[in-house]
């Protein structure tokens, strides 16, 4: 059984003006997602600024999310690292805390070979019992999980069950699905490619857009899975301008500004991320109004 089908939000981590985690606001964001029919929460991913959380904060944010959600929907913890030992530590601790699954980005900066990726992910998987989703985002990490590598891991390691595919390369996704005979939990990692990947056998999305439009993102997936492909495609196309605006600067700068515009974020970004450029903020506000989320 899949960890989840549908829309999983790559949830932001809200900070106070002094830079500390705002757990009160985080609780509000989690409840907003559940009310908006989000199907899973992915905590401490890229959008959650995990790279700027120390280990204690990282685990406390996961713990808080698990406790607030309280089994109402699955919680998937981002526990990837450029260091295998660190990924193992975070993954084991996230399992102890009660996460339902793990999301592990490819080791960044080190730029592992494909054999290195197989060894890295296999070593992590041996230390935990909960399902793992590989996260392929070469634009951020400098490393691409080749379809053959992902297929080998899913076939040969029991608790490696799927891939969040954010390469943007549809041909690569098609090859992955061919090599696995579709027996893989595939999630779109790009909000502008949800319906196209669903047509290739994906079962959902891990979404930035869902932070500000949870119901709309859920519906893109739900309508497709219910058999209304045309409606899903229309909803997908309607969302494209906002998807583009949310990536006018590096994620999560625009989405945190969008949350501020909605009155659901009041803190700062952690350096080296900085405030959005004024012209991009104007574009974002305009696009959010046109899409009906502001």
- Nearest CA to 7 out of 32, 36, 47, 45 is that of 36
The CATH class given to the 6-229 domain equals: alpha beta
- Is the pTM above the cut of 0.95? yes
Map out the domains of the chain as residue ranges: 6-229
Output the pLDDT for position 237.
98
Tell me, rounded to whole angstroms, the distance of Cα 177 from its chain centroid: 20
What confidence category does residue 136 fall into, taking pLDDT thresholds of 50, 70 and 90? very high
Strand boundaries in the chain, DSSP class E: 6-10, 40-43, 75-78, 101-105, 132-136, 160-165, 185-188, 204-207
Beta bridge partners of 207: 9
Helix, strand, coil distribution of the chain in percent, nearest 5: 50, 15, 35
Output the pLDDT for position 266.
86
Output the pLDDT for position 267.
87
Residue 121: pLDDT above 80?
Answer: yes
- Supply the mean pLDDT for the chain: 97
Q: How far apart are CA 128 and CA 194, in angstroms?
A: 29
What confidence category does residue 253 fall into, taking pLDDT thresholds of 50, 70 and 90? very high
What confidence category does residue 1 fall into, taking pLDDT thresholds of 50, 70 and 90? confident
What confidence category does residue 292 fall into, taking pLDDT thresholds of 50, 70 and 90? very high
Q: Which two tokens stand for residue 83?
A: 């260091």
Span 165-184, pLDDT tens digits: 999 999 999 999 999 999 99
Selected residue with higher pLDDT from 266 and 44: 44
Output the pLDDT for position 232.
98
Residue 134: pLDDT above 90?
Answer: yes
User: Which residue numbers are catalytic?
Assistant: 135, 164
């Amino acid at each position: 059984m899949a960890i989840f089908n549908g829309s999983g939000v790559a949830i932001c981590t809200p900070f106070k003006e002094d830079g500390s985690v705002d757990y009160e606001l985080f609780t509000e964001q989690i409840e907003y997602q559940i009310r908006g029919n989000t199907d899973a929460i992915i905590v401490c991913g890229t959008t959650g600024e995990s790279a700027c959380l120390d280990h204690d904060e990282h685990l406390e944010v996961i713990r808080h999310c698990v406790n607030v959600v309280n089994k109402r929907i699955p919680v998937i913890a981002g526990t990837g690292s450029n260091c295998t030992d660190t990924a193992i530590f975070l993954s084991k601790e996230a399992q102890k805390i009660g996460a339902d699954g793990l999301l592990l980005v490819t080791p960044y900066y080190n730029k592992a070979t494909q054999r290195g990726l197989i060894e890295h992910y296999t070593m992590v998987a041996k230390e935990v019992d909960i399902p793992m989703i590989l996260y392929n985002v070469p634009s951020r990490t400098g490393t691409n999980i080749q379809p053959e590598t992902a297929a080998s891991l899913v076939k040969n390691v029991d608790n490696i069950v799927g891939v969040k595919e954010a390469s943007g390369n549809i041909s690569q996704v098609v090859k992955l699905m061919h090599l696995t005979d579709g027996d893989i939990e595939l999630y779109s990692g790009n909000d502008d490619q949800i319906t196209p990947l669903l047509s290739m056998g994906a079962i959902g999305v891990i979404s930035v857009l869902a932070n500000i439009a949870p119901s709309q993102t859920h519906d893109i997936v739900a309508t497709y899975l219910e058999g209304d492909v045309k409606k899903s495609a229309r909803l997908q196309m309607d969302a494209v301008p906002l998807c583009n605006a949310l990536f006018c600067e590096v994620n999560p700068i625009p989405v945190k500004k969008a949350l501020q515009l909605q009155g659901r974020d009041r803190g700062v970004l952690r350096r080296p991320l900085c405030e959005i450029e004024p012209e991009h903020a104007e574009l974002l506000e305009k696009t959010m109004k046109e899409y009906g989320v502001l």
